[in-house]
Structure 1
Amino acid sequence: MSETPDPSWLVLILAGLLFMDAAMSVRPPKFIRDCLNGVHFPREWWWILIVIKLLATAGLIVGIWVPGVAFAANVGVIAYFLCASVAHIRARFLRQEFWVNCLGFLAVSVLVLVFAFFV
């Protein structure tokens, strides 16, 4: 296992995707609103998801140079999307948002972890 990502561009792609997701969540389009409403996530807490994604983005970027930080951030992103997946399953909200957004991000996060830190 590597303490810093190699290749680092994989981590930058994940950071970019998370940043775009956070930016879109400031004024969420219909598919994000549908997703959050579908899992019954309280509207007054939507802002915390933006903070989490921005902190993960920062951790992934800083971790390119600081050993262990990108790894921890990547694991945190995986945990976040595992929790989101559980929320979708518990709410029985298994529409396209679940399969594309939630599981898509989870798959990308796992692939980045494997190929940037273990291969």
Structure 2
Amino acid sequence: MAILADPVWPVVAFAAVQYADAAFCWKPVDFVRRCLDDVHTPPLVRRLLTPIKAAAGTGLLLGLVVPYLGVVTCAALVAYFAIAVAMHIRAHDLHRNFRNAIALGVVSGLVSLCYL
């Protein structure tokens, strides 16, 4: 199968970020737990974060050979981070994690350009 995304490195790097984030959510490390607590994340959502983030990493990598899947994954990540931004706003948590959510949402949109 030919790799159709260009350049490839942003896709691979962002997939690695998603896999690392999934690992951090498996047994939440302190900074992740504090972030989830700050925005009052429900227990069900906390349990879903690891598989969602792992699936996002996989979708990004599979998108290297099926570009449509990569674009759909990026769109889903933009929506995910938009929800994260809204949760931070609702909780009046407008500090580092809020800025990170905005930045990662923007990165999701930019990485989608690699598939076009």
Corresponding residue of 1:104: 103
Corresponding residue of 1:28: 28
Corresponding residue of 2:38: 38
Question: How has the CA–CA distance of structure 1 residues 98 and 62 changed in structure 2, closer, same or farther, with 3 Å as cutoff?
Answer: same
Greater RCO, CA 8 A, separation 6+: 1
**Identity across the alignment (%):** 35
| Runs of 5+ consecutive residues of structure 2 not aligned to the other structure | none
| Runs of 5+ consecutive residues of structure 1 not aligned to the other structure | none
TM-score by length of 2: 0.87
Query: What is the RMSD of the two structures over their aligned residues, measured on CA atoms?
Result: 1.5
Counterpart-to-counterpart distance in 2, 1:44 and 1:36:
12
Structure 1 consecutive aligned stretches of length 4 or more whose deviation exceeds 4 Å? none
Write the mapping of 1:16-95 to structure 2, written as runs, cut at 5 A.
Answer: 16-95=16-95
Aligned residue for 1:68, secondary structure, equals helix
